A and B are shown apart, each in its own frame.
Chain A
Amino acid sequence: MVSKPHGGRLIRRIAAEKTRERILSEAEEFPKVQIREGVAIDLENIAHGVYSPLTGFLRSDEFQSVLDTMRLPSDLPWSIPIVLDISEKDKTFEEGDAILLYYKNTPIARMHVDEIYTYDKKEFAQKVFKTIDSAHPGVAKVYAMGEYLVGGEIELLNELPNPYERYTLRPVETRVLFKERGWETIVAFQTRNVPHLGHEYLQKSALAFVDGLFVNPVIGKKKKGDYKDDVILKAYETLFKHYYPRDAAVMAIVRYEMRYAGPREAIHHAIMRKNFGCTHFIVGRDHAGVGNYYGPYEAQEIFQAFPDLGITPMFFKEFFYCKRCKAIVNERICPHPMEDREYFSGTKIRKMIMEGKVPPEYFMRKEVYETIKGFENPFVED
């Protein structure tokens, strides 16, 4: 049986067609708030149940509970605050009002404003990111947020523009898909990268213990030098075609803006995949980390505090190629010293591709490399 949704019920906050039409015809009567892409993506994830049991943006008691205990007031694990921030100039409405949220001038959702409250950005940063250093990308985003948070339920009116609709599955769809395939145990793998052999071994090691593998690339804002989303998807399609059992692996994307909150975010990622119906979640080295803010296996250790998460984490040590084993292994199964090891470095592989050098076969599948090279420029520019 696939995982039950977090909180027991899959949330769907999508306005019924008639309600939607009525709201949109009365759009001018509602206070209007423009939201940025990251918030719009969170909103879409709430509406489609990726963030079940949330039905809207956090109210102050929920926000404080998440900061202090990594749990909602109901005691359910929840580690990342999902909030709507506004600035003083956007505060044109009051508690009790219904407002329309706009993204790029399109009304995306109606929100019932339960509460407008202030918060301490340094406390937010320290508790979620374990630092108040503005060089941390997640902290910088918090510092750039508006002075107020708005809590209340939402109803989706329009989907966000999605260039990857063909690769997008919602939790209601993955749940049916897993059931139709007869999978009772499913392991999820989150990725933001093109696959190298280390990823493949990690995924296949996990798949050896369950019925199905769900590769779930995160599509969202990228920085210069990252692989373009198209490249990641095509590279995975190639890998699947040549090296994965068709009846035991699927790929679909999720749109999500990374917080880089390391251990706390690993819990959040696991909850998202539980809502997709997965029973297991792969947590590797420095999951959702950035720089040196978190220990290499801190994102694994935090799971000890959540016996009630409802999804089983699968922990792996970092894989590498051992020249003496002549295999891809990790420190648990390889007795050889460091000098025999070739670690999978994304930076090293990226450099090779940029310089037109073919990565060694123990780093990357030839077919995957050729797929990447088929793009005129596989990397994000300015």
Chain B
Amino acid sequence: MPEERKYTTVSIPVQLYEKIKKRIEGTGFTSVSDYVTYVLREVLASLEEEEKEEVFSEEEEEKVKERLRALGYLD
């Protein structure tokens, strides 16, 4: 199967582009696109982390606790 990667274009101000270009000199980033992708992934992941944690139903949680007690993981 041929290797396929999907990309699209996003516009950023030229001044910002130049600033990033300068910033990534001598780092592991080979292009402004790579750097922007990295930063956006990091930002989005941290925003998602802040969203509310999944909560189990009380009944389900109690059932789990019973097993954990039976196995000695909880007192």
Contacts and interface: CB of A to CB of B under 8 A. Distances in A.
Contacts of B67: 173
A1 B49 CA distance: 10
A261 to B, nearest CB: 19
B65 A180 contact: yes
Contact of A180 (B4, B49, B74): B74
The 9 closest A-B pairs by CB, nearest first: A308-B45, A307-B42, A308-B41, A176-B64, A68-B3, A173-B64, A307-B41, A177-B73, A177-B68
B68 to A, nearest CB: 6
Given A173-B67, A308-B45, A250 B1 contact: no
Interface string A163-200: 00010010011011100110000000000000000000
B5 A4 contact: no
A10 B54 contact: yes
5 contacts: A4-B48, A119-B1, A176-B56, A180-B74, A181-B74
A18 B60 CA distance: 18
Contacts of B1: 60, 64, 119-120, 123
Given A166-B71, A310-B48, 19 more contacts: A1-B53, A4-B51, A4-B53, A4-B54, A119-B1, A120-B1, A169-B68, A172-B60, A172-B64, A173-B64, A173-B67, A173-B68, A177-B68, A177-B73, A177-B74, A304-B28, A309-B45, A310-B45, A310-B49
Nearest to A176: B64
Interface residues of B, number: 26
Main SS of the interface on chain A?
loop
A75 interface: yes
A256 to B, nearest CB: 20
Given A169-B73, A250-B73, A68 B4 contact: yes
Nearest to B70: A166
A307 B38 contact: yes
Contacts of B4: 64, 68
Contacts of A205: none
